Amino acid sequence: MVHFEPARPAWTLLAGGSATALAALLGAPLEPALLTGAIGALAVWLARPGHRPPATPPAPRAAPAGPGFAEIAGAIDDPILLIVQQRVTFANATAKAVLGAHIVGEDIRLAIRHPAATERLVTHPPAPDAPPEEIELVGLGERERRWAMTVHALGAAGLLVRLVDRSGSYATERMRVDFVANASHELRTPLATLLGFIETLQGEAASDPATRARFLTIMLGEAKRMQSLLDDLMSLSRIEADKYSPPEASVALGPLIEEARDALHESARITLVEAPDTPPVTGDRAQLSQALHNILGNALKYGRPGTPIRVTLAAEDAMVRVTVADEGEGIAAEHLPRLTERFYRADNGRSRALGGTGLGLAIVKHIVERHRGRLTIESIVGRGTTVTLRLPVAPALSSKSHTEAT
């Protein structure tokens, strides 16, 4: 819309008159001079548009509402609690899963039943400007779980509590410490034996051929034990290094079991029953051979002398199942969950007497994990132990997989 401007007609008449006068001075006849003035007046009229009021800027759009506290806390995997006047006024889904859905509205001393939590949240709550401090809590949700509790003061609004699960890192650190301690102990014992015998041979037994021969035999056994332990440690390290690199070859387990049986020189005791048309598995042939050696070796060590070791091989869904059963003394139920831990022995004295390093089943577990399989151990005291491996069936041969010769 064009608005009227008061000065516009004046400027138009002035322009038209000036153009007419200029044309007359230049000697133009009257009619052309008037036409020139009219054109000038029209040009000025069109060149000076009416006044336009400044455009009203559009009203700003309202910013979309951001997520609220409940949405943000609900997206966090750690337990989050909001406490006002010692009562839980909010708990995210993770907190309810750990502490129970009933905690909302409860006194915090009932929601988190732990002396250290009560001390921090009720007796001595943090000041508004105090830096956050972690408090270790053990036993929330499950007896062995460990949590780091951080408390933030929100002024008069209350306290914001966050729990971080540290169970995994604690277990890893404990395993590392136990591993170093156990490895040191396993190496210290044969080393002490070797040093003692060497000192004896250098002294009073130097001229006694019979004693020297007996000591050298013991020293050789201790040295081989240390060598076996170091070999197992190196093997375990290599297997762990390949943990995230799954094997791609296709391996037939039947011939591999027969090779392990022959290498152990116990063909008479170990019987293999293989179902017809058992497919090959996807695997690393050397590692699978090592796992089978360890399982069969354990069965021979801990089975009663002269009793058979039965090995069965068959397809099971998309897996191949290998079962090794002995007729030994068996293992008590409380030991079964820990048998695959490094250096764990259900019977320390017997295991060492039989030459075990305590790493055999740990190696088997890591090999099976790398092969994306499953390991189960079942035992009945007085009747024997059964170890079962389940390994994925190999897919159809492709450019990336091949059947290994046996």
CA distance to 68, 83, 90, per residue, from 156 (Å): 19, 11, 16
In this prediction, residue 321 has a pLDDT band, given cuts at 50, 70 and 90, of: very high
**What pLDDT was estimated at residue 209?**
84
**What amino acid occupies position 22?**
L
**What pLDDT was estimated at residue 53?**
52
**What pLDDT was estimated at residue 399?**
37
In this prediction, residue 292 has a pLDDT band, given cuts at 50, 70 and 90, of: very high
Q: Is pLDDT above 50 for 63?
A: no
Kindly state the average pLDDT of the residues 292-312: 90
In this prediction, residue 1 has a pLDDT band, given cuts at 50, 70 and 90, of: very low
Place of tokens 């831990």: 341
- For residues 1 and 75, the model is more confident at 75
| % of the chain exceeding 70 in pLDDT | 77
Kindly state the average pLDDT of the residues 260-268: 84
Residues with Cβ within 8 Å of 198's Cβ and at least 6 positions away in sequence, in order, are: 219
Q: Is pLDDT above 50 for 58?
A: yes
In this prediction, residue 27 has a pLDDT band, given cuts at 50, 70 and 90, of: low
**pLDDT (tens digit, 9 = 90+) per residue, 5-25?**
555 555 555 555 555 544 444
**Lowest model confidence (mean pLDDT) among 167-176, 355-364, 394-403:** 394-403
**pLDDT (tens digit, 9 = 90+) per residue, 336-351?**
888 888 877 776 555 5
**pLDDT (tens digit, 9 = 90+) per residue, 243-258?**
778 888 999 999 999 9
- The top-scoring range by mean pLDDT among 40-54, 139-153, 238-252, 288-302 is 288-302
Residue in 354, 329, 351, 323 with CA at minimum distance from that of residue 339: 351
Q: Is pLDDT above 80 for 49?
A: no
- For residues 65 and 259, the model is more confident at 259
**What pLDDT was estimated at residue 239?**
82
**What pLDDT was estimated at residue 196?**
84
Kindly state the average pLDDT of the residues 257-267: 86
Is residue 392 within 8 A of residue 318, CB to CB? The reply is yes
137 is written with which tokens?
A: 């809590």
Read off the pTM.
0.55
pLDDT averaged over every residue in the chain: 79
**pLDDT (tens digit, 9 = 90+) per residue, 171-217?**
777 767 766 777 777 778 778 888 888 888 887 777 788 888 888 88
DSSP string, 323-347: EEE--BS---GGGGGGTTSTT--SS
